[in-house]
């Protein structure tokens, strides 16, 4: 019987479904945070208190929204949160939950000050519309009119509008690995773009770009004749009464007393990386991410846009400019949303949630889309939504960088303002009904329906894991994009036989009984790579280079390996470094951003199996269980698809040549601070004989997050029997 061919086709349905998961993964095991909740009103709020019933909102739906956010804290999905719902200019819910600073047990309170990161961008957009109204700037002006160093081949065609719509061709950031303080000011940040080769012709594609917004901030300074911070303060913050906002959190700023500490990581893995006692995170105002504000203050800014550019009786933005800014651009964002039937679009430095206009013909032009909400989010976990038809604003702020809870909040907001139904998971059949392996056909690489903590989830190899929420009648919604539904089918005996996503179908299968067992696979890999020879050859040191093309970074890598179970990995890229070491019992880590620490939990589990010994050594020592799921053909070579785990959680998958035992590829996960759990696929090549061992000298690592993208590692030197200083495997 011929071996099926390895089928690596990527389906659009999965690409959409996993957009958010690729950045941060699904939720981790929930842990009780121990925080406290507070819901007392703030004195002299610009939005007087009211009730849900008085403002025409379902009290039950509002209570579910608050319970959802409170649950995020109780389960450790965020460190702290503040939530406010404003309808018709009146606050019907304003609560605070968890910790403002967990280490000092300072509770979150209404009126806390958050760094809203990318929610600064709409203020830069507002400033530019004001300058356009002042006849000092035009949308179609080339950037080179204000910044002469843009008057160069490849950059002359970049306009103000290109940068306002993220279509200028600049990358996400040019600040990665740079010392921000050494740049001095925003003009120096903008000047970094002068030496950059654009990723595409301006106007031909969308690429979210902090660099583009910081360049616009420099334009504001030139056009206004003063600092961008002074312009934003005088023309936006002061007229709106945003007295509890600051564009630079200086050391003596009075708002530090209510500022939230910042955390990065993932649920149950939050690490503080800034507190109000620390120096400013930004030495000067960055228009891409520098604003600190309370919920009330940011709501005042959103109210300006809800009121079509008017603040009370004073007009700050012309109505035509408001309409232009809130018009969807030609490129939808590759992001999921919890708002029912909606997709995420982008206007002019404003995020938009749109649906086809009522009565629009099927396949109608993109211009025929209704904006059901607008606003923005920030990467530290802050969100603002405005629902113009309901005259409603919702602000959900956390200080937990990497949280993906905003999409779940969106689903609750859909129930509040867009009529979305609510289907609790407790009504679902047992998870065991669905757990297993699925594929489109015999040549297709498997997908897994697994448990991820207490939740049912879809795992796509090398890409990510997304949580599923029950929607009734054997249908499960992808949490990060609830418009995508897995509809499971059952056989005559009631057993689950597969699922469909639209027209695409996956069929459940059991691994063939004649596939090799775990012991045979372990023996084949050990015989192929012979890392056990290190027992006599002594410790091995390998040095090489790292290249991350997407952010123009190069670095150095050094690994130290000692049979059977000790390893160390040291990497340096730019001004950043990371060290991970395992002494056979304890895994330790140290980076340029975090202090020395003993790794535990999920982060330790993935790091412990992401190294040479776990890939090419005695697999049974590093992986608790191994099972061959499939035998597929890849370019004429039979490959065993081996899962290092069952369906009780996400697992590593190894691709092993059936005849030789050579490991060609490993799909696994990495837990990255600030981004959470992320799928990764490592392909090994350029195998060479080193004293009887078969070792790869080239590795291509594809991370699911497009900001990082592809990492290439090339080994230049391998040394055997090296002297290992005492404490090397303990990071001493």
Give the residue range(s) of CATH 2.40.128.50 domains in the chain. 12-20+428-509
| Dihedral of the alpha carbons of 422, 424, 425, 426, in degrees to the nearest 10 | -160
Q: What percent of the chain has pLDDT over 90?
A: 76
The pLDDT value given to residue 57: 85
Average pLDDT of every residue of the chain: 90
The pLDDT value given to residue 117: 97
Strand partners, 2: none
| Top mean-pLDDT range of 47-51, 331-335, 496-500 | 496-500
- Alpha carbon of residue 540 to chain centroid: 36
Task: Tell me which CATH homologous superfamily contains domain 518-730.
Answer: Lipoprotein localisation LolA/LolB/LppX (2.50.20.10)
Question: Are the C-beta atoms of residues 65 and 77 closer than 8 Å to each other?
Answer: no
- Write the secondary structure of 464-488 as one string of H (helix), E (strand) and C (coil): EEEEEEECCCCEEEECCCCCCEEEE
The pLDDT value given to residue 368: 79
- Alpha carbon of residue 285 to chain centroid: 24
More confident position, 144 or 16: 144
Residues in Cβ contact with 656 at an 8 Å cutoff, skipping those fewer than 6 apart: 521, 524, 525, 639, 640, 642, 662, 663, 664
* Mean pLDDT, residues 110-136 taken together: 98
* CATH for the 12-20+428-509 domain, from 2.40.128.50, 3.90.1640.10, 3.40.720.10, 3.10.130.10: 2.40.128.50
* Mean pLDDT, residues 536-564 taken together: 94
Give the residue range(s) of CATH 3.40.710.10 domains in the chain. 90-417
Q: Terminus-to-terminus CA distance in the chain, angstroms?
A: 55
The pLDDT value given to residue 428: 86
The pLDDT value given to residue 732: 82
Of the candidates 306, 355, 298, 359, the residue with the CA atom closest to the CA atom of residue 328: 355
On the question of pLDDT at 7 being above 70, the answer is no
Q: Which of 43-52, 198-207, 250-259 has the lowest mean pLDDT?
A: 43-52
Give the Cβ contact number of residue 191 at 10 Å.
17
Structure tokens at 291: 């604003």
pLDDT tens by residue, 380-392: 999 999 999 999 9
Give the Cβ contact number of residue 278 at 10 Å.
14
More confident position, 603 or 621: 621
Residues in Cβ contact with 34 at an 8 Å cutoff, skipping those fewer than 6 apart: none
Q: Which of 159-163, 298-302, 427-431, 647-651 has the lowest mean pLDDT?
A: 427-431
SS percent in the chain: helix, strand, coil, step 5: 25, 35, 40
The pLDDT value given to residue 26: 32
DSSP code, position 312? T
Structure tokens at 29: 């095991």
DSSP string, 151-220: -STTTTT-BHHHHHTT-S---S-S-TT--HHHH-SHHHHHHGGGGPPPSS-TTSS----HHHHHHHHHHH
* Mean pLDDT, residues 624-643 taken together: 94
On the question of pLDDT at 100 being above 60, the answer is yes
The pLDDT value given to residue 5: 55
The pLDDT value given to residue 4: 61
On the question of pLDDT at 630 being above 70, the answer is yes
- Signed CA dihedral, 342, 344, 345, 346: sign only: positive
pLDDT band at 336 (very low <50, low <70, confident <90, very high): confident
Distance CA 493, CA 213 (A): 58
Q: Counting every residue, how long is the chain?
A: 732
Task: Tell me which CATH homologous superfamily contains domain 90-417.
Answer: DD-peptidase/beta-lactamase superfamily (3.40.710.10)
Give the residue range(s) of CATH 2.50.20.10 domains in the chain. 518-730
On the question of pLDDT at 31 being above 50, the answer is no
Q: What is the CA radius of gyration of the chain?
A: 27
The pLDDT value given to residue 359: 61
Q: What percent of the chain has pLDDT over 70?
A: 92
Distance CA 368, CA 352 (A): 14
pLDDT tens by residue, 459-518: 999 999 999 988 778 989 898 887 788 999 999 999 999 999 999 999 999 999 999 999
Its pTM stands at 0.69
On the question of pLDDT at 665 being above 60, the answer is yes
The pLDDT value given to residue 361: 55
The pLDDT value given to residue 606: 86
On the question of pLDDT at 687 being above 50, the answer is yes
Structure tokens at 185: 């000011």
- Distances, alpha carbon 438 to alpha carbons 1, 305, 649, in Å: 21, 47, 16
* Mean pLDDT, residues 249-270 taken together: 93
The pLDDT value given to residue 288: 97
């Amino acid at each position: 019987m011929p071996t099926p061919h390895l089928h690596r086709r990527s389906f659009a349905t999965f690409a959409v479904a996993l957009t958010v998961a690729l950045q941060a993964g699904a939720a981790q095991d929930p842990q009780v945070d121990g925080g406290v909740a507070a819901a007392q009103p703030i004195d002299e709020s610009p939005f007087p208190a009211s009730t849900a019933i008085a403002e025409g909102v379902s009290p039950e739906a509002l209570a579910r929204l608050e319970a959802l956010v409170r649950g995020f804290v109780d389960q450790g999905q965020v460190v702290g949160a503040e939530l406010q719902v404003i309808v018709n200019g009146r606050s019907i819910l304003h609560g605070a939950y968890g910790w403002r600073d967990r280490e000092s047990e300072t509770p979150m309170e209404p009126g806390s000050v958050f760094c809203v990161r990318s929610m600064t961008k709409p203020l830069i957009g507002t400033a530019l519309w004001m300058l356009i109204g002042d006849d000092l700037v035009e949308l179609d002006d080339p950037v080179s009119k204000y910044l002469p160093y843009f008057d160069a081949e490849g950059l002359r065609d970049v306009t103000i509008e290109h940068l306002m719509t993220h279509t200028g061709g600049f990358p996400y950031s040019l600040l990665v690995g740079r010392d921000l303080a050494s740049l001095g000011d925003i003009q120096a940040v903008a000047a970094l773009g002068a030496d950059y080769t654009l990723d595409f012709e301006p106007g031909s594609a969308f690429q979210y770009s902090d660099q583009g917004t910081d360049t616009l901030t420099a334009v504001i300074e030139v056009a206004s004749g003063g600092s961008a911070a002074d312009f934003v303060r005088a023309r936006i913050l002061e007229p709106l009464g945003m007295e509890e906002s600051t564009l630079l959190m200086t050391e003596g700023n009075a708002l530090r007393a209510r500022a939230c500490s910042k955390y990065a990581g993932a649920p149950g893995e939050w690490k503080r990386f800034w507190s109000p006692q620390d120096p400013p995170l930004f030495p000067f105002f960055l228009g891409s991410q520098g604003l600190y504000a309370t919920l009330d203050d940011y709501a005042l800014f959103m109210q300006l846009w809800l009121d079509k550019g008017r603040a009370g009786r004073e007009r700050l933005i012309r109505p035509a400019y408001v309409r232009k800014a809130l018009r969807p651009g030609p490129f939808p964002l590759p992001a999921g949303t919890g708002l029912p039937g909606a997709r995420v679009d982008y206007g002019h430095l404003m995020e938009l949630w749109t649906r086809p206009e009522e009565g629009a013909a099927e396949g109608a032009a993109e211009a025929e889309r209704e904006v059901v909400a607008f606003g923005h989010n920030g990467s530290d976990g802050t969100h603002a939504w405005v629902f113009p038809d309901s005259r409603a604003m919702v602000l959900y702020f956390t200080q937990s960088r990497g949280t993906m809870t905003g999409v779940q909040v969106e689903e609750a907001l859909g129930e509040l303002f867009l009529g979305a139904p609510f289907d609790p998971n407790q009504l679902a059949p047992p998870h065991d009904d669905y757990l297993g392996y699925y594929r489109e056909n015999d040549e297709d690489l498997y997908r897994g329906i697994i448990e991820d903590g207490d939740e049912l989830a879809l795992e796509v190899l090398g890409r990510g894991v997304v949580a599923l929420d029950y929607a009734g009648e054997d249908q499960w919604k992808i949490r990060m994009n609830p418009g995508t539904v897995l509809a499971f089918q059952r056989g005559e005996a009631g057993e689950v036989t597969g699922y469909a996503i639209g027209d695409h179908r996956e069929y459940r299968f059991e691994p063939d009984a004649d596939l090799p067992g775990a012991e045979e696979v372990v023996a084949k890999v050990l015989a192929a790579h012979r890392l056990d020879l290190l027992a006599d050859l002594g410790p091995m040191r390998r040095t090489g280079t790292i290249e991350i093309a997407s952010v123009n970074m190069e670095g150095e890598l050094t690994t130290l390996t000692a049979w059977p179970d000790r390893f160390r990995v040291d990497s340096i890229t730019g001004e950043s470094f990371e060290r991970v070491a395992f002494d056979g019992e304890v895994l330790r880590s140290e980076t340029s951003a975090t202090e020395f620490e003993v790794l535990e939990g999920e982060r330790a589990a993935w790091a412990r199996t992401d190294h040479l010994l776990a890939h090419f050594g005695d697999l049974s020592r590093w992986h608790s269980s191994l099972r061959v799921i499939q035998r597929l053909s890849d370019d004429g070579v039979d490959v065993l698809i081996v899962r290092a785990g069952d369906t009780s959680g996400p697992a590593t998958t190894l691709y092993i040549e059936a005849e030789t035992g050579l490991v060609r590829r490993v799909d696994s996960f990495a837990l990255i601070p600030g981004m959470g759990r992320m799928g990764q696929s490592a392909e090994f090549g350029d195998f060479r004989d080193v004293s009887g061992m078969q070792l790869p000298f080239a590795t291509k690592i594809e991370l699911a997050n497009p900001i990082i993208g592809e990492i290439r590692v090339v080994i230049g030197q391998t040394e055997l029997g090296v002297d290992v200083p005492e404490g090397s495997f303990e990071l001493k």
